[in-house]
Amino acid sequence: MIANVRHEPESQRFVSETAAGSAVIHYREAGDRVLDFDHTFVPVALRGGGIASQLTQQALLYAREHGFKVIASCPFVAAYIERHPEQRDLLA
């Protein structure tokens, strides 16, 4: 697991600081108890290393623990949920 994933609710994102810059998963509120994960970014030098998957895992854990359903409009998040059927119950 990557260290220091922090939730920044005021910016509607989860962030991990890396040596190459910030890795981010962004969301927006999309109705009552629904979060739309709409964008994921990982610095180019770190892509393919699992950071986006780890951020997505943390974001989905947050949604589950706080009673949110999710929309996966970010293609990466949609693919992650497709690969992890145990997360599909979160889909709005």
Question: In a 10 Å sphere around its CB, with 0-12 CB exposed, 13-18 middle and 19+ buried, how is residue 38 labelled?
Answer: middle
Instruction: Report the percentage of the chain scoring pLDDT > 90.
Output: 88
pLDDT at position 19 is: 87
What is the percentage of the chain residues whose pLDDT exceeds 70?
Answer: 97
Model confidence pLDDT, tens digit, residues 23-49: 999 999 998 999 999 999 999 999 998
CA dist., res. 12 & res. 9, Å (int)? 5
Q: Is the predicted pLDDT of residue 4 greater than 50, yes or no? A: yes
φ/ψ (deg, to 5) at 38 = -110, -5
Mean of the pLDDT values across residues 72-91?
A: 97
Rounded CA separation 88/63 (Å) = 12
CA–CA separation, 29 and 65 (whole Å): 16
Residue with tokens 């895992």: 57
Instruction: Provide the whole-model pTM.
Output: 0.92
> Structural domains in the chain?
5-90 (3.40.630.30)
